[in-house]
Chains A and B, each alone.
Chain A
Amino acid sequence: MTTGTTLSRKAPISRKAMGTGALLALAAVLPLAITEPSQQNFLILILMGAQMGVAWNIVGGYAGQVSLGHAVFYGIGAYTSTMLLTTLGLTPWIGALAGGLLAALFALAMGWPCFRLKGHYFAMATIAVAEIMQILVTNSDFLEGAVGLYLPMDRGGWGWLIFLSKLPYYYIILGLLVLTVLVSWAIERSHIGYYFRAIKDEPEAARALGVSLTRYKLIALSVSAFLTAMGGSFYAQKEMFIDPGSVFAGTISIKIALIAILGGVGRLTGPVLGAVILITIEEYSRTLFGSTGSGTDMIIYAAMIILVAVFSPSGVLGLLGDLRRHLPGAKPAAVKTEKMEVRP
């Protein structure tokens, strides 16, 4: 290869870096312009969604192992940091790390047997694990069961990550999102990222090239679990209250996956875009039609899911890619579509 192509290969990265920098600067000043607490809360929800989606994308997108039970990690994160805070008085800075590690260990323990399954079967196993966990927590006296856990109201500030105003939460979740994106990016660029994609595309061929499926799937799941759990800890800090229904529920698992799929799996920006779209629609349809229980918000939400599933398997990013390619003078780009994988 000539140096020319090497240079041209590097060029889009620096352009990407500039775009990312601009986006980050915008995100940093945004809450200074939007000061209304409910609107700041809305921004926080988007960042939370994006963080979950980017974390899920590591295993579900890059490595192609569709987990529909990610709430189990989210819940472990939320419960670990909260229990450590309420029982031992440990700061959530450490609690969130502990939650992440515990979730990663749990991921290893559940992945070890479950990764023998493929496609639908793996997805179902993850649903089952998460549901079982929710039932166990709901019936655990130690974890206050269905009653849930309250965070102590008598503490505050950066040491405890408890605040009255929304602004600090905004910057914390922005920081967590940046961390999650950086981890994904590092994976994407390293041999691990290549191995993940190889496993997703052709697992048997990957093995023939010396890739251990179990090892790399476990890496994907545990890293994803770690980051998802951190998101769960953040949720607990922000809401000051958790119960099994709010952090272990099946709907959370689905939402996490949906954010990534909506934006476009297997790419870094997909889940972020997915979060912006999904959370916006979710919140607006709720405020416009919601709380009366008329079901209109659900109908709109569902219609959107179905439309994306039917018309754009590679998500909104894929759709944008298609559009760009149809514009005159556009360079053709490879749009990656997901491979179907069924049967154990």
Chain B
Amino acid sequence: MSIKGKAYIAGAFEHPLRKAPDVSTPQLHAECAMGALADAGLSLDDVDGYFCSGDAPGFGGLSMADYLGLTGLSHIDSTETGGSSYILHVSHAAQAIAMGKCTVALITLAGRPRSEQVRWPRPNSFEGPFEAWCGGSTHNTYGMAAMRHIHEFGTTSEQLAWIKVAASQHAQYNEHAMLRDVVTVEDVLQSPMISDPLHRLDCCVVSDGGGALVVVAPEVMKSLDRPAVKILGAGEAVKGQNGGKVDLTYSAAAKSGPAAFAEAGVTPADIKYASIYDSFTITVLMQIEDLGFCEKGKGGAFVTDGNLISGSGKLPFNTDGGGLCNNHPTNRGGMTKVIEAVRQLRGEAHPAVQVPNCDLALATGIGGSLGIRHGAATLIMERAA
């Protein structure tokens, strides 16, 4: 049993707003839903599967389905793996479609971290009393992962900076990107230290906004006019502190990646374009190694000298500018990772960054914290003939 070829991404939409003080969060979800459905040539009335995650307000999927008027649902899923949720939702939607549980699955993400406060963490967790007082944030917990990587493998801040440089090279062409200025390695190293060894420019942007995707059954895809993006394979995995046997040198992508490649029947060398979750530069480096684009510990050398830049590098990544420069809506970057991969496969990326003959793409993400506990999701997609 496999999802290979059983479902297609028919619609994708990235909200243009980066600051949204004048709309509600449910409204943002709705605008993203309408955008993705319009892109596919479908409407809310066609939706029979709905997927959302922890950013969905109120009672999550129940509140949003009610708000959107989704009265025809035969499948609902609100799996929460942080920012990687939406990559995983594509896989879960494909599974539901393959099992005949739904035919048009809608996935939404939206939030307004610049405009409203969301309470976090949730109460009653086993870890709260042992962790909350440590003052862990994304910056310092990803910082610890980066520190250990540097210690174990000799990775340098210069190498990490190359990841930001590549993202900025791409962002200059995105009119919606928050940071469009091209930066140098020196710029990254000169930016203020936030939490060692991560500088400000090693960190992604904070943005309001959102996005949505529509995943459909093959027979629905045939009735639509949009270029078909076929789902070839997916993998998901979670990783935590393992009872105190903490190992910061690898991520759960070490499992989600190989699972996705195995299901798709392709190898890292076959991938023409990769959307790689970039909450921080270290997040990208870790996934590049764990997915097998290079050997463990050699990620620093791999990303150096512009190897991630479209047109010159071997592995063009995040051609929209990614979370590092474009957009990281409600601190969750998985949705935009899939959206840019869809653009690449459709040939609809900005001409300056479009990968020629892009017929095979990957989207991968880490949600939660690399340094504490996280969920990884990897998705491999093909441009259908």
| A joins B in a complex | no
